[in-house]
């Protein structure tokens, strides 16, 4: 059984800029709330197969998760997988698909989330867990939007 959710946001910057920002792990600390750090597990430009460990402060504690890029289709799509068995979560698989569509300097970002492989009580509480992840993803997109739109104003 899997649980899905969707978050949509409209940005007033080009989809190329949004795409670049989604895959720029080095600047994530400028917009990602609660980020403690990102440790790359490979080198070079982010590409399909790239992996990293992301640590955030959540509920007053640090939590680390293992991420991998599943698909990059520039500038339209980014798919990232979090293997919960390799991180603080301890279970599950979390797939985050970012779809970017644009019209001029306006970009709609649709983030599709899917949670798979939950067991025990977490499976039973799956809808609540999906809701929590949806809120967190919405906050991330809002933070990225604010960062990019403020940067656009400053650099214009």
**pLDDT attached to residue 132:** 86
Domain range enclosing 36 = 2-155
**pLDDT attached to residue 34:** 93
pTM over 0.95: no
**pLDDT attached to residue 154:** 62
Q: Burial-class residue 77 by CB neighbours within 10 Å (0-12, 13-18, 19+).
A: middle
Domain count for the chain? 1
- The CATH number linked to 85 is 3.30.530.20
């Amino acid at each position: 059984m899997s649980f899905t959710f969707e978050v949509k946001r409209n940005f007033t910057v080009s989809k190329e800029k949004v795409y670049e920002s989604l895959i720029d792990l080095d600047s994530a600390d400028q917009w990602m709330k609660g980020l403690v750090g990102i440790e790359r597990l490979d080198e070079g430009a982010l590409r399909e197969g790239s992996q990293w460990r992301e640590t955030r402060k959540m509920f007053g504690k640090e939590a680390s998760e293992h991420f991998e890029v599943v698909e990059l289709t520039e500038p339209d799509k980014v798919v990232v997988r979090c293997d919960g068995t390799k991180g603080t979560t301890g279970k599950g698989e979390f797939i985050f698909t970012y779809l970017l569509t644009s019209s001029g300097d306006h970009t709609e970002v649709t983030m599709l989330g899917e949670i798979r492989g939950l067991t025990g009580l977490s499976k039973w509480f799956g809808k609540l867990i999906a809701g929590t992840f949806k809120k967190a993803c919405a906050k991330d997109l809002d933070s990225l939007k604010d960062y990019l739109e403020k940067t656009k104003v400053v650099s214009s």
